Structure 1
Amino acid sequence: MRIILIALLVILVVLQVQLWREFAEVSSLREMVEQQQIENEELERRNEALAAEVEDLRAGLEAIEERARSELGLIREGESFFLIVDPEDAEPSG
């Protein structure tokens, strides 16, 4: 009878250890899911902004012109380009 009780006690301890390991793993997985959901929300907002930008570019020439001016430095024919330099940012000429 004593052997049976010891065997049952050992089995109970092993099952308890396994149960607590599973709880720790579940907790870790929940944390990973929460982090992934936050990342997904950020990516979704970025995708929405990009979709809006694509729609602007498809809809009219104003967005294309704005991009050409800001990113490529293009100007229209007949316009003059002025570059204003801050004296503090200018490099001293030798």
Structure 2
Amino acid sequence: MLRWIALALVALLIALQLKLWVGEGGMREVRLLRERVSAQQAENERLKQRNQALSAEVDDLKHGQQAVEARARAELGLVKPGETFYQVVEPGAAKKKDGDGK
């Protein structure tokens, strides 16, 4: 009788160990969740830095005339009154635009 109880306890111990290591909610799943949390924290940090840079840029555009002027020049090609605009064309660039491609 004692032998059967000991055998049942050993079988129960093995079953619990299997559930702990490979079952649902076991150590493998905990490890995977920790890896996902770590990756998400790294992504959150990257996005936080990006948000801070964007916030600084918005603040600069709201309060700094130079930033607005630089953006108007770069994105819209605007020039101030009295300035002369020069466009430098690389040799062969006109031929490529015409579709010749040579």
The two structures have a TM-score, normalised by structure 1, of 0.85
Alignment partner, residue 80 of structure 1: 84
User: Residue 83 of structure 2: SS of its match in structure 1?
Assistant: coil
Per the TM alignment, residue 5 of structure 1 is displaced from its structure 2 partner at its CA by 3.2
Runs of 4+ in 1 over 4 A off after TM superposition: none
- Select the residue among 36, 42, 47 that pairs with 2:46: 42
Deviations 1:49-94 (A, max 9, x none): 0111111111121111111111111112222221112225x14255
Alignment: residue pair count: 93
Please list every run of 5 or more consecutive structure 1 residues that lacks an aligned counterpart in the other structure: none
- Select the residue among 10, 25, 31 that pairs with 1:27: 31
State the alpha-carbon separation in 2 of the partners of residues 41 and 62 from structure 1: 30
State the alpha-carbon separation in 2 of the partners of residues 85 and 11 from structure 1: 82
Identity within the alignment, %: 51
- Aligned-pair RMSD on alpha carbons? 1.7
1:20 partner amino acid: W
Please list every run of 5 or more consecutive structure 2 residues that lacks an aligned counterpart in the other structure: none
2:12 partner amino acid: I
User: Residue 5 of structure 1: SS of its match in structure 2?
Assistant: helix
Alignment partner, residue 11 of structure 1: 12
